[in-house]
Amino acid sequence: MKIAVIGTGYVGLVTGTCLAETGNDVICVDINETKVKKMQNGEVPIYEPGLDLLFHRNIAQGRLTFTTNLADAVKDAQIIFMALPTPPGGDGAADLSYILGAAKDISKLITEYKVIVNKSTVPVGTADKVKAVFQEHTSIEVDVVSNPEFLREGVAVDDFMKPDRVVLGTKSERAKKLMAELYGPYVRQGNPILFMDERSSELTKYAANSFLATKITFMNEVANLCELVGADVDAVRKGIGSDERIGKRFLFPGVGYGGSCFPKDVQALVKSSDDYEYDFQILKSVMEVNERQKTILVDKVLKYYKNDIKGKHFALWGLAFKPETDDIREAPALYIINALIENGATVTVFDPEAMENVAGIIGDKVKYAKNQYEALVDADALLIATEWSVFRNPDFEKIDKVLKNKVIFDGRNLYDLQKMIDLGYYYNSIGRKL
Ligand code: UGA
């Protein structure tokens, strides 16, 4: 099939590349000329495991191309994906100007029936708005399909190639047929393609992310309570997670959820609910609790040093909002760094992928180490904010040599409690005994 993908951000690029992988001709459009040039020269603009291979293979086979020219892209495409940003506007509602603007531009270029697929996370009712834009500017028939993405950064290629489900919001039989054909190769194992109306599909995306954010936040609160009552959150997690109705996944407490999706989507769902005069109380609490959780590690540090960390120096392992990404949007590490600095401490950081991104924001407010051990030099204590695999089994002898004191504040519960006691550490983690 012939596909156009508008927007080569994270979602657009993964979508375009993975659609080319099953034999479709995919042309990706972006207004950023430098980025398009780079991609034309075979440079992958984001860090995403597994994407390189597919990207290069499909470019080499001529199935994946890039352009800044929208007209070239939409001319022959049967299906046009829109993967454009929907940043939170001033009032927390998603800003639809990119999507509606692109819809207008496309409407002026098309000369035959097209399926317009919206991949961006958008408030309920957006498909109707996009449809209205087309109706205003062209008499050519189009179907607008809502097709939310459920890609996780770090495993996005796998999530696209083998999705748990594909959600497609459209009432048009013609669009359903084309979309089922396109997604058929990805659901060969029998995972469902769920057809529904546009509004249900749009809400499904927000509800899924908000539910997951709530699940994590609930566990963070259970963990905080565990510390007070002397329980162990690992045991409680396993105890509840074995109930299939609860499930084992997404029950890991930590320093709060971050990233470009959960915080934005929870906020947007609260805002849409408010617009319909519905008070979505649980999500409001989720937002509040998550803000508090982001600095819980610093609270522990302050308590340990009796509220005085002036002149202390800390090592921080992990900057990305989660492992296997260089994404630092809403990353708890940023809150931790700022809180430490505000309290008069200095910080040296290390992350396998996200250092450059942090340097772009934080600059020389912190020092950047070449590796995880160098970060520990002269540090009074080590703080851990992201559960990168390289932090899971470190060489504690090496740590002992450089870290000034045997003190670790672990926001991701990486180490066995008994092991840390045996090694003689003061080891403060989340929801577990000291
Ligand atoms: C999330 C969803 O998982 C995807 O399904 C969705 O498509 C995506 O948002 C999106 O809307 O684009 P992502 O933001 O990449 O994906 O990251 P997750 O792996 O879901 O992690 C989100 C946050 O929750 C991270 O900060 C992570 O550290 C935290 N988390 C996750 C926990 O604190 N505990 C857990 O048990 C799981």
Domain CATH for 226:
1.10.1040.10
250 is in an annotated binding site: yes
What is residue 38's predicted lDDT score, i.e. its pLDDT?
97
237 and 167 within one domain: no
Q: Do 11 and 153 lie in a common domain?
A: yes
Domain contains 263: yes
Statement to judge: residues 159 and 17 lie in one domain:
yes
Mutation choice for ligand 1 from 220, 322, 329, 430, CB with most ligand atoms inside 8 A? 322
Q: What is the pLDDT of residue 408?
A: 98
pLDDT band at 252 (very low <50, low <70, confident <90, very high): very high
> Which pLDDT belongs to residue 378?
96
Q: Which residues of 266-290 are buried (b: 16+ CB within 10 A; e: fewer)?
A: bbbbbbbbeeeeeebeebeebbebb
Decide: 411 and 254 in contact? Cβ < 8 Å. yes
Q: Compute the average pLDDT of residues 173-183.
A: 98
How far is the centre of ligand 1, averaged over its atoms, from the C-alpha of 262 (Å)?
7
pLDDT digits (tens, 9 = 90+) for 281-333: 999 999 999 999 999 999 999 999 999 999 999 999 999 999 999 999 999 99
Last residue of a domain, one of 233, 265, 292: 292
Do 95 and 105 fall into the same domain? yes
Q: Is 300 annotated as a binding residue?
A: no
CA 26 to chain CA centroid, nearest Å: 24
| 25, 122, 135 from 117: Cα distances, Å | 16, 12, 16
Residues 302 and 281 both lie in one domain: no
What would the mean pLDDT of 360-376 be, rounded to a whole number? 97
- Within-domain flag for 214: yes
Same domain, 306 and 280: no
From 18, 28, 226, 261, active-site residue? 261
User: Does the structure show a pLDDT above 90 at 104?
Assistant: yes
Task: Name the token pair of 179.
Answer: 């979309």
Domain tally, the chain? 3
Indicate if 129 and 210 belong to the same structural domain: no
Range of the domain at 423: 294-428
Tell me whether residue 433 is in a domain.
no
Q: What is the mean pLDDT of the chain?
A: 96
Domain match, 328 and 416 both: yes
Can you tell me the distance from the alpha carbon of 227 to that of 431, in angstroms, rounded to the nearest whole number?
5
Last residue of a domain, one of 292, 322, 339: 292
pLDDT at 305: 98
Is 323 among the domain residues? yes
Question: Are 285 and 306 members of one domain?
Answer: no
Determine whether the annotation assigns residue 322 to a binding site. yes
Closest atom of ligand 1 to CA, residue 321: 26
Which one of 195, 221, 242 terminates a domain?
Answer: 195
CATH code at position 123:
3.40.50.720
Q: Is 176 within a domain?
A: yes
Same domain, 228 and 180: no
CB 120 within 8 A of CB 83: yes
Q: Which residues of 95-132 are buried (b: 16+ CB within 10 A; e: fewer)?
A: ebebbbebbeebbebbeeebbbbbbbbbbbebbeebbe
Q: What values do phi and psi take at 181, rounded to 5?
A: -65, -45
Q: Which residue has the tokens 């748990």?
A: 164
261 catalytic per annotation: yes
Same domain, 133 and 236: no
Mean pLDDT of 229-243: 98
pLDDT of residue 148: 97
Q: Are residues 244 and 321 in the same domain?
A: no
H or E element at residue 209? helix 198-229
Looking at the domain assignment, is residue 434 inside a domain? no
Count other Cβ atoms within 10 Å, centred on residue 416. 12
Residue 92 has pLDDT above 90, yes or no: no
What pLDDT is attached to residue 2? 98
pLDDT band at 359 (very low <50, low <70, confident <90, very high): very high
ipTM of the shown complex: 0.95
pLDDT at 94: 80
Residue 250 clears pLDDT 80, i.e. is over it? yes
- Identify whether 122 is part of a domain: yes
pLDDT at 91: 78
For ligand 1, atom 7: residue with the closest CA: 150
Residues with CB under 6 A from ligand 1: 121, 149-153, 209, 212, 216, 250-252, 254, 257-259, 261-262, 321-322
Closest C-alpha among 95, 56, 102 to residue 81: 102
pLDDT score for 47? 87
Q: What is the pLDDT of residue 88?
A: 80
The pLDDT assigned to 336 comes to: 97
